[in-house]
Amino acid sequence: MQPTPPTCSDAPIWTAWMAAFHAPTLAIADELGFFAALSDAPLTAAELATKLGIELRATEAMAGVMASLEFVVLADGRFGLTDVARTYLLPSSTYYWGGMLRRIRDNPLDCRKLIESLRRNSAAEDASLAAMWTRPAPPPEQLVAFTHAMHAHSFALAMRVLPSFPLGGIHRLLDVGGGSGSYSIAALTHHRALRCTLVDLAAVGAVAREYATRHDVADRLDVVAANMFTDPLPTGHDRILYSDIFHDWDDPSCRLLAKQAFDALPSGGKLWLHEMLLDDTKAGPPQTAAYSMVMVFVTAGRQRSARELYELVTSAGFVEPRCTMTAGGYALVEATRP
Average pLDDT over residues 263-272: 98
**Using an 8 Å Cβ cutoff, are 301 and 128 in contact?**
no
Q: What is the pTM of this model?
A: 0.94
In the prediction, which pLDDT does 129 show? 73
| CB half-sphere exposure, 246, CA atoms < 13 A | 34
Average pLDDT over residues 58-73: 98
- Which residues, 6+ apart, have CB-to-CB distance to 151 below 8 Å? 99, 179, 180, 182, 207, 211
CA dihedral 168, 171, 175, 176 (to 10 degrees): -120
Handedness of CA 213, 245, 137, 152 (dihedral sign): negative
Please state, as a whole number, how many other Cβ atoms lie within 10 Å of the Cβ of residue 305.
17
What percent of the chain has a predicted confidence (pLDDT) above 70? 99
- The residues that bridge with 258 in the sheet, in sequence order, are none
Confidence category of residue 307, pLDDT binned at 50, 70, 90: very high
Q: What would the pLDDT profile of 81-106 be if each residue is shown by its tens digit? A: 999 999 999 999 999 999 999 999 99
Q: What would the pLDDT profile of 237-249 be if each residue is shown by its tens digit? A: 999 999 999 999 9
Q: CA–CA separation, 36 vs 71, rounded Å?
A: 12
Closest CA to 19 of 332, 287, 318: 287
Q: What would the pLDDT profile of 3-39 be if each residue is shown by its tens digit? A: 999 999 999 999 999 999 999 999 999 999 999 999 9
Q: In Å, how far are 96, 155, 196, 264 from 246, measured between CA atoms?
A: 25, 18, 20, 18
**What is the greatest pairwise CA distance in the chain?**
77
In the prediction, which pLDDT does 165 show? 96
Residue 56 clears pLDDT 90, i.e. is over it: yes
In the prediction, which pLDDT does 131 show? 67
Domains identified in the chain and CATH numbers: 11-104 (1.10.10.10), 109-336 (3.40.50.150)
Residue 116 clears pLDDT 80, i.e. is over it: yes
